[in-house]
Amino acid sequence: MRMSKLLMPTLREVPAEAEIASHQLMLRAAMMRKVAAGIYTYLPLGFRVLQKITQIVREEMDAAGGQEVLLPIIQPAELWHETGRWDDYGEEMFKLSDRNDRQFCLGPTHEEIITALVRNEVRSYRQLPLMLYQIQNKYRDEIRPRFGVMRGREFIMKDLYSFDRDEEGLDKSYWAMFHAYERVFARCGLNFRPVEADPGAIGGNQTHEFMAIADAGEAEIVYCSTCDYAANVEKARCLTPPAEPTGREDQLAEVATPGVKTIEELEKFFNRPASEMMKTLIYRGGEQVVAAVLRGDHEVNEIKLARAVGCLEVELADDETIERVTGAPRGFAGPVGLKNCKIIADPAVMNIESGITGGNKVDVHLQGVKPGRDFVPDMVIDIRKAQPGDPCPCGKGILQGARGIEVGQVFKLGTKYSKPLGATFADEDGVERPLIMGCYGIGISRTMAAIIEQYHDEHGICWPVSVAPYHVDVVPVNYRDEQQRTAAERVYAELTAAGVEAVIDDRDERPGVKFKDADLIGFPIRITVGPRGLAEGQVEVRWRATGEEYLISLNEVVSHVQDRIASAIAESKRRCKG
Ligand code: ATP
Ligand code: MG
């Protein structure tokens, strides 16, 4: 490709609307342009990167037994009514109607469509297992589209669906996909971790999210310093810290605490650590009101709490509800003497021998509170958010914290869609059974942004070879100089003939401009053709990521570069073996 012809409007300034590096760089390096909130056009360079990622995904899905199909973006409402999701999916669904007022949506996901296909086309256990996938645009009217393509309203996803005859088959499909995902993200060069995630309040199904480790990530994860355990904090199991008996047997007593509110203020006032406080949060979950009691130094995990309550979501109660159950305004709740609400305590609370809690009266706290004696929880269950420094559930290591970008997810669905849609197969005895399903998504466009988060510096993007838009940028320092032009054109022509993806910077620009663009766009290799090297029959090879730089003869440069690219790609594939 000739840069003089390439549509690559790079930007020198950092666009004001872009907060994180990948968003800024995708705009500056001419990968994409915004059309509307969360909706983007990919320019030639950006589209090439997407195609590279797509191809890696396709190869690994095929290798794992997937068959590629293409499902429609526009989906009829009737199918979504069959699963009840037309109403349940919520505001994120883009809905539309045709000229006859028939309703449709723009596919946010494709379980309905694929299950309906399979219910019509698959009859027998002999056709199983089956894995079908597609790579296509998805539409979700996200409340807060942000960070460029990281959270778009139109984005590209690979979604694969597996169909098995039983749980054992599903388990095989699940782990085959899990390992295929490991290969995909390793080949993309990502530093990532599969983490245990919460499958949602209903069902005890298994799911893992694949997290690209990056500070810009929206997810909080914890992982063990010694074992393989890693989990989204939404899901991470918490061990109960061991009891440290103090032998204290204090009397329950009221203490006037005017103006003392926060845990820090209480620590000062009572001169006791937060681990001896019990904080009480009043929540509403469906029709129920519950009091969640945790240690003062712990945070509530609302997903665990919702599960304990047995509903989809919980939210903090309003002032009126708080007054009704505690008898006091917001800020003074405690578990002693609570009426009209269930008390759910975290196990760590039960180890406190003499605690401090709110007194359910204005400006009053209780001290000497002993769980079990002064209040009896209706339920003692893990409702706390794991935090770095906690012991790992393995019992040996300590949990470390990190932020992650969810680039993919694998999910055991079971019969969640096959049952309502009536997708069955006949087993050996001719008995009709529901298909056992799994679904597996990769955010292709989000993966592109995640790679940039991990591969950039102050000058621009540093693409891993496996996903770079082009591998080599041939830069004649002065294209008007005949000797330089001839040599550069020769290198470019030979590279192209050898199958190396190359561009030549044949623009009539100062070398500084060309070098800046090369660094910004992030071609892995720059070959500079300048007067000094040429005098010795040499050109300069420079690696973007490492800054490695050396002279090499014009005659050898093509085979040298070709070899190093081939070995970089081979290396990216090797990394994921085993
Ligand atoms: P999130 O929690 O980030 O909203 P999700 O769990 O709803 O994502 P899935 O339904 O699991 O998303 O979709 C599969 C993959 O698609 C995700 O792992 C992610 O990589 C990608 N993805 C989901 N939503 C978006 C979006 N709005 N923009 C870009 N990629 C997305
Ligand atoms: Mg997900």
pLDDT for position 201: 52
pLDDT of 245-261, one tens digit each?
877 788 899 999 998 98
Residue 236: per-residue pLDDT: 92
Cβ–ligand 1 distance for 424 under 6 Å, the answer no
The DSSP secondary-structure symbol of 536 reads T
Express each pLDDT in 182-210 by its tens digit: 999 999 999 999 999 988 755 558 999 99
Atom of ligand 1 nearest to the CA of 109: 10
**What confidence category does residue 574 fall into, taking pLDDT thresholds of 50, 70 and 90?**
confident
Give, using CA atoms, the residue closest to atom 11 of ligand 1. 409
Q: Is the CB of 406 under 6 A from ligand 1?
A: yes
What confidence tier does 541 reach under pLDDT thresholds 50, 70, 90?
very high
Contacts of 81 (CB under 8 A, 6+ apart): none
Instruction: Write down the pLDDT at residue 130.
Output: 98
Nearest ligand 1 atom to the CA of 210 is 18
**What ligand has the least distance to the C-alpha of 135?**
1
Q: Say how many Å lie between the CA of residue 141 and the centre of ligand 1.
A: 12
Cβ of 151 below 6 Å from ligand 1:
yes
The pLDDT assigned to 485 comes to 96
Closest C-alpha residue for ligand 1 atom 31: 443
> How does strand 288-295 pair with strand 230-232?
unpaired
211 or 249: which leads in pLDDT:
211
SS3 content of the chain, % helix, strand, coil (to 5): 30, 30, 40
Instruction: Establish whether residue 298 lines the binding site of ligand 1, counting it when its CB lies within 6 angstroms of any ligand atom.
Output: no
CATH architecture of 21-191+411-453: 2-Layer Sandwich (3.30)
Give the mutation target among 178, 409, 412, 444 for probing the ligand 1 site: most ligand atoms within 8 A of CB: 409
Question: Distance, CA 237 to ligand 2 centroid (Å)?
Answer: 19
Q: How far apart are CA 531 and CA 537, in angstroms?
A: 10
- Is the Cα torsion angle 135, 140, 143, 145 positive or negative in sign? positive
- Which pLDDT score is estimated for 203? 53
Ligand 2 centroid–CA 153 distance in Å is 15
- Does the C-beta of 441 come closer than 6 Å to ligand 1? yes
Could you identify the residue written with the tokens 């199904």?
A: 205
The finding on whether 142 has its CB within 6 A of some atom of ligand 1 is yes
Q: What is the mean pLDDT of residues 122-128?
A: 96
461, β-bridge pairs = 456
CB of 217 within 6 A of ligand 1: the answer is no
| b/e map 426-461, b = 16+ CB within 10 Å | eeeeeeeebbbbbbbbbbbbbbbbbbbbbbbeeebb
Predicted local distance difference test score (pLDDT) of residue 157: 98
Q: Check residue 205 and give its pLDDT.
A: 81
pLDDT score of 214 more than 60 = yes
| Mean pLDDT (whole number) for 568-577 | 84
Give me the sheet containing 364-369, strands edge to edge: 253-256, 364-369, 355-358
Mean pLDDT over 170-179 rounds to 97
pLDDT over 70 at 577, yes or no: no
Measured CA to CA, the distance from residue 569 to residue 281 in angstroms comes to 53
Q: What pLDDT, on a 0 to 100 scale, did the predictor assign at position 240? A: 83
What pLDDT does 339 receive?
Answer: 80
Say what the pLDDT of residue 204 is: 55
Percent of the chain whose predicted confidence (pLDDT) is above 70: 99
State the average pLDDT over residues 353-380.
94
pLDDT at 243: 78
pLDDT at residue 250 in the model: 83
Q: Is the shortest distance between the CB of 140 and ligand 1 below 6 Å?
A: yes
Distance CA 276, CA 293 (A): 12
Alpha-carbon distances, residue 332 vs 321, 323, 348, 557 (angstroms): 13, 10, 21, 75
What are the pLDDT digits (tens) for 277-331? 999 999 999 889 999 999 999 999 999 999 899 888 899 999 999 999 999 999 9
157 CA: nearest ligand 1 atom: 16
List C-alpha distances in Å: 479 to 207, 209, 493: 55, 49, 15
For a mutational test of ligand 1's pocket, the pick from 157, 184, 185, 205, i.e. the residue with the most ligand atoms closer than 8 A to its C-beta, is 157
Average pLDDT over residues 492-505: 97
- pLDDT single digits (tens) 446-473: 999 999 999 999 999 999 999 999 999 9
As assigned by CATH, the class of the 463-575 domain is alpha beta
Q: Which helix (H) or strand (E) holds 371?
A: none
Q: Look over the chain and give the mean of its residue pLDDT values, rounded to a whole number.
A: 94
Q: What is the pLDDT at residue 575?
A: 78
Q: Which residue has the higher pLDDT, 235 or 7?
A: 7
Cβ(567)–Cβ(575) below 8 Å: no
* Residue 157 Cβ < 6 Å to ligand 1: yes
| Whole-number pLDDT of residue 576 | 72
* Positive or negative: CA dihedral 179, 180, 182, 183: positive
Q: What is the pLDDT of residues 50-95, one digit of tens each?
A: 999 999 999 999 999 999 999 999 999 999 999 999 998 989 999 9
Point out the ligand 1 atom lying closest to the alpha carbon of residue 218. 3
Start and end residues for every CATH 3.90.960.10 domain found in the chain? 253-380
User: Does 445 sit in the ligand 1 pocket, CB within 6 Å?
Assistant: yes
Question: Which residue's CA lies nearest to atom 29 of ligand 1?
Answer: 151
The sign of the dihedral angle between the CA atoms of 45, 46, 49, 54 is negative
Pick the atom of ligand 1 nearest to 442's CA: 15
Type of residue at 362: V
Determine contact, residues 314/285, Cβ cutoff 8 Å. Answer: yes
Ligand 1: centre distance to CA 173 (Å): 21
pLDDT in tens, 427-450: 999 999 999 999 999 999 999 999
334 lines ligand 1 (CB under 6 A): no
Q: Is the pLDDT of residue 13 over 60?
A: yes
Ligand 2 midpoint to CA 217 (Å): 13
Ligand 1 pocket member 446 (CB < 6 A): yes
State pLDDT tens for residues 374-427.
Answer: 999 999 999 999 999 998 999 899 999 999 999 999 999 999 999 999 999 999
- Residue 415's SS3 state is coil
Both structure tokens of 317 = 């109660």
CATH 3.30.930.10 placement within the chain: 21-191+411-453
CATH of domain 253-380: 3.90.960.10
209 in Cβ contact with 195 (< 8 Å): yes
Q: Which amino acid is at 561?
A: V
Q: Calculate mean pLDDT across residues 129-144.
A: 97
